[in-house]
Structure 1
Amino acid sequence: MSKYTLGATGIGLIALIIGEVTIPQQAAAGELYSITNLGSLNPTATGFDAYSPGYGINNAGQVVGSSILSSTDVFRSHAFRTAPNSAINPTTDDLGTLGGNSSTGYAINDFGQVVGESNKSVYGSDYAFLWSDATGMQNLGTLGGESSVANAINNLGQVVGSAETKEGEFHAFFYSGSGVLQDLTTVGGLSSANDINDSGQIVGSKQIQLGQNHPFLYSSSGALQDLGTLGGEEGVASAINNFGQVVGSADTGATFEPDDPKECPCNVSHAFFYSGSGTLQDLGTLGGPNSDATDINDFGQVVGNAGYIKGSKVTAPFLYSNGKISNLNDLIPANSGWVLENADGINNSGQIVGTGTIQDPGRNYPVHAFLLTPVLKPTSVPEPSIIFGSLTASAFGIFLGKKSKQQGKAKGLV
């Protein structure tokens, strides 16, 4: 089947709209996840040589990240993209580089297109890239400076990230296939775009006049809307779903005393949820001082990382759902042999991607990407009309994406 046909994702959206399929029940305390070790591009490696963090996941269960390639050169790492619900295959999943020795994949859309950063030479700067099956890895360039990074891509192939200007500042950018990056910062100050949904809404962080970073939401109005904080000075928006719900982290205005007082000042920063109007909602922590939300799916499930020891910066990955925050280490089998350390992505099936340490002294405790899959009894959607508009827009966006991708072949966009 051509990758430009509607495919399983589009069929799934349509079926969900008309109520012919069920979705997993939202997470609750005590539920279990199965865990898949996604492995490494260097499958015989042990310890740090096996380092292969996972960062992004699409609705098909494909995962992207990076992996060290050689035990003799730990600075040589490549971006990977797995097959759906599968471990890394070193033969097929290595995405290569822009000519240098390293690359990292940060996000993937439902067409399998990947974005991230890569260098063109061993000691050169990193550049934002767009990778597809048709064209391989493309350098998206900068805003006139020396480096850039692509953080997210939606189903229309639109990309956002951060790029250096000729003045040496890093600004949030938007890329729509025109061949050039659009600077989203109309006034001075640093900024970064961290995610984009299928409606083209963008979130990230931007310096305000006082020099602090605040989370922003960018819509078709053309202005960066300051979302504020939880009472403190700074914050960042990390992700947005197709309903315009935003998550990230923001200072609360409080401070905490760390294990090492030399590390102060230590502001308390908590994960937040923004519904699209009103103020930020504090999602709390796992018992420690800080938390950070990294992703949200279209059913409002949030993942991130949170402190779980009072006065310490030690963190664990969390799931926030139905008003409850849970340590993901408590939701996997007790004999899994894993310590989960970070959660960076969640798809609409509730699958979670992140990075953890395998408790195997014989292999010197390798750090690998993991894929968590909910072990849940399915339940029908109570009110499918609630999600009709968003999913219809997503399906229509896929159609438009198909058309724009086909038109963009001549421009080397896909």
Structure 2
Amino acid sequence: MLYSCRSLGAVCYLFTAYTEGVFLQHPLLFKHPLTALVLTGLGIAICQPSSAATVYSVLDLGKLLPEGTDIRAANMNNQGQVVGLMSYYDPLKDNQIEFHGFRTTPNSPINPITDYIDPPNGGFASPSAINDLGQVVGLIPFGNPEWNLYEAFRTSANSPVNAATDKLGLVGLGSFSFAQSINNAGQVAIVTSSRFLGSFSYRTTPNNPVNQATDDIGSLGGIVKDVPSFGARFTSAFAINDLGQVVGASWDINLQTHAFRTAPNSSINPNTDDLGTLGGSYSEAKAINNLGQVVGFSTTANGETNAFLTAPNSPISNNSNLGTLGGSFSLANDINNLGQVVGESTTANGERRAFLYKNGQIFDLNKLITSSLDVTLNSAIAVNNFGQILTNSEFIDPDGNRLRNRAFLLTPIASSTDVPEPSLSLSILILAAIAISTNRLLLYK
């Protein structure tokens, strides 16, 4: 929930600090009726919920790059650092396409001099996530480029990929491994894929490579029996929170793909971790916050695909459907610890638009920005705990030859329409209430 305390910012700060330092630690806090009244009144008077939609400033992440550079943002952290993959046609190499993984400095556009994280000995890195320490995970190619082999990596804090030390291991008989997510403890959720055995998923211990014997998180029970000696299965882990809970999608015993959420640092339990669907047969969990709320998408009974949001550590329910922006499709990509959800949805005329869901309402982010853009925000892919939103935009280049990509970082800004300004008399009343309550509490010491 958003709160507005602009003209009484100092009073709000003093009240918050004082309640945490004195009121909430005092053994006689709730024994005096005046104290309870003061706390109730202050809670109502100072921090009324904001009713208006937040508006956002817009940062073009490619503003320092040459014209024609494509940017596909992947994720961001609570510092405002963004990671992703950029590409361009290099005129010095007969217009061959060049790829570079990047990690920005906080709240800044991509700097081509300082922000590349590719291995220094060649190749490129494709990042997927970043934690608050600046550690990045993703995949890097290895071996003969014609083989299309990739291996998961995790960097040190704010460092480029070191191919000698950062690889997390090509596990099983997979043709590639992909690090999808990292938490602030350094645990990584990894997917491996094989043309023979399907896909397996792993949760590493903090800052360690994959241990195939202990890190496999299992599945919801679905196995294809006709694969000789093994049996193929499908489990794809998409995200991990700071408690070690992993979410993703897996085959159940009927070989239907369902979203799952594990218990902290545990394997998948088919009896408790299947999140179900919105009435259809398919669902995927894309993200989880530290409260155990999960977002993703699911098919419905009428064949539509809609975004969902679960209650903390609960399955998908009738109240989980987030709806759409007027069309028949939506998916949720991320959720922060405030319960704000971002994703993409179609409109009534079939256009793809980035959305924000908060306080029970879904908003088209294109209508909440302060800048006029020459492209449409098609997908919101991440939201941090400060409410910053990372978006991607797809468009056809002016010549109509190819699909292009740009990325933007949206930052919430104060709006004069949030709530009415509190009066001066209210300011005096609050200060007086704090003084009265202080004296009363001191008398009980």
Give the TM-score taking structure 1 as reference length. 0.75
Conserved 8 A contact 1:196-1:240: yes
Following the alignment from structure 1 to structure 2, what is the Cα–Cα distance between the partners of residues 200 and 169? 24
Residue 159 (structure 1) aligns with: 188
**Counterpart Cα distance in 2 of 1:19 and 1:164:** 50
Equivalents in 1 of 2:201, 2:407: separation in Å?
A: 28
| Other-structure match for 2:353 | 316
- Structure 2 residue 294 is the aligned partner of structure 1 residue 250: no
Tell me which residue corresponds to 1:287: 326
Structure 1 stretches of 5 or more lacking a match?
1-14, 256-267, 380-414
Counterpart-to-counterpart distance in 1, 2:88 and 2:363: 34
- For the pair 1:34 / 2:61, whether they are aligned, the reply is no
If asked which structure has higher relative contact order (CA below 8 Å, sep 6+), I would say 1
Matches within 5 A, 1:12-31: 30-31=53-54
2:76 maps to which of 54, 57, 72: 57
Q: CA deviation at 1:146?
A: 1.8
Q: Does residue 260 of structure 2 align to residue 216 of structure 1? A: yes
Pairing of 1:4-403 with structure 2 (within 5 A) = 30-39=53-62, 43-46=65-68, 50-71=69-90, 75-97=97-119, 101-121=123-143, 122-123=145-146, 124-132=148-156, 133=158, 136-137=161-162, 138-144=166-172, 145-164=174-193, 167-176=196-205, 177-181=207-211, 182-185=215-218, 188=223, 189-220=233-264, 221-224=266-269, 225-255=273-303, 268-275=304-311, 276-280=313-317, 281-310=320-349, 312=350, 314-333=351-370, 335-356=372-393, 367-376=405-414
State the shift of 1:351 in Å: 0.3
State the distance in 2 between where 1:338 and 1:372 align.
14
Answer whether contact 1:291 1:306 (CA < 8 A) is retained: yes
More strand by share: 1
**In 2, are the aligned partners of 1:40 and 1:368 still within 8 Å (CA)?**
no
Moved more, 53-62 or 184-193: 184-193
CA distance in 2, matches of 1:101, 1:25: 53
Counterpart amino acid of 1:272? F
Percentage of pairs with the same residue? 38
* TM-score of the pair, normalised by structure 2: 0.70
Q: Is the 8 A contact 2:153 2:161 kept in 1?
A: no
Instruction: Give the partner amino acid of 1:150.
Output: A
Distance 1:25 1:324, change over 3 A: farther
- Displacement of 1:178: 3.5
Residues 142 and 165, structure 1, Cα contact 8 Å, conserved in 2: no
Secondary structure (helix, strand or coil) at the match of 1:329 reads: helix
Q: 1:289 to 1:27 in 2, by over 3 A?
A: farther
Letter in 1 for 2:110: I
Q: What amino acid does structure 2 have at the position aligned with 1:179?
A: P
Closer, same or farther: CA 291–352 of 1 in aligned 2, 3 Å:
same
Deviations 1:194-227 (A, max 9, x none): 1111111110000112222100001145334100
The structure that has the greater radius of gyration is 2
The Cα of 1:79 is off from its aligned counterpart by: 1.2
In structure 2, the gaps of 5 or more residues are 1-15, 22-46, 224-232, 420-445
Q: Conserved in 1, the CA contact under 8 Å of 2:283 and 2:299?
A: yes
Question: Which amino acid in 1 is paired with 2:130?
Answer: I
Quote how far apart the aligned CAs of 1:307 are. 1.0
| 1:178–1:113 CA distance, 2 compared to 1 (3 A) | closer
Residue 280 of structure 2 aligns to a residue in which SS?
coil
State the distance in 2 between where 1:153 and 1:351 align. Answer: 19
Aligned partner of residue 289 in structure 1, secondary structure: strand
Q: Deviations over 1:20-48 (max 9, x none)?
A: 9xxx998865432100000178x2232xx
Q: CA deviation at 1:361?
A: 5.7
Q: 1:259: which partner in 2?
A: none
- Corresponding residue pairs, total: 344
Q: Deviations over 1:335-385 (max 9, x none)?
A: 233421111100011001121258996999963211000112699xxxxxx
